[in-house]
Amino acid sequence: MLNFKNTNIFFVSLVASLLWLNARVNMPIYIFGIVVLIYSLIVFYGCYYVGSNFFIKIICKANTTKKEIAITFDDGPAQNYTPQILEILNKENIKATFFCIGKNIMGNENILKQIDANGHLIGNHSYSHHFWFDMYSAKKMQSDLQMMDNEMEKVLDKKPKLFRPPYGVTNPNVKKAIVRGCYTLIGWSVRSMDTVATDENKLLTKIVAGIKPGAVFLFHDTCLRTANVLPKFIQEVKNRGYSIVPLDKLLLLQPYA
């Protein structure tokens, strides 16, 4: 299994062997450069591919043959377009999971309460969602996550256990913060790319192609195009005989601490 520990063991052994060999045959220096490059590419893959499980286990889908999927929304709560999405979900009697940013709760407390009152799950998506979040120390990451927990507890008296890392990036510091905070790391199996999509028809085609047993869809409740496409996507899911179920039911997890 490719992971951070095994990768380090292999490359330390490889470099030691090359150094031993170099002392005898004077190997070209570029050989060591190639080794460093390959190591860097593997670690980069581990950091930025959400399903790699390179540093820590991250749950991206359910291992099932049942025609069930879950949908999740990142980056809210927001005046635009969380209420519209909640209205669509309520009309279709569908429960979703909202991975919220702590700093977005202030001023949007009523929306957070509505998410909870409608029976949806709420997860931690960090407090700051800072561009350089993945460069934070483990201590600073843990503090950031705790700040999100505190904001949510003020409003709902609930502490989220599910955490989705900003940008889906993991690394050793993220692992330490997750373990210390006793969170369950959640990824996705279908990334809609709704924040960058420009053609709603192409967006719909892309996400419909990802409808498979156990799939976890990533959307954002901050996009008009998501609100526009969501009803059509839900209808297509139903047409294919699938059900949209709560994330905790699909993945058999506890959503709150």
Q: Point out the residues that are catalytic.
A: 74, 220
Cα–Cα dist 105/152, whole Å: 8
Closest CA to 36 of 53, 18, 23: 18
- Angle, nearest 10°, between helix axes 82-92 and 224-239? 20
Of 40, 39, 57, 41, residue with least CA distance to 165: 57
Q: Single out the residue of 203, 196, 143, 214 nearest to residue 173, CA to CA.
A: 143
Q: What are phi and psi of 251, to 5 degrees?
A: -100, 0
**118: its two tokens:** 């409608």
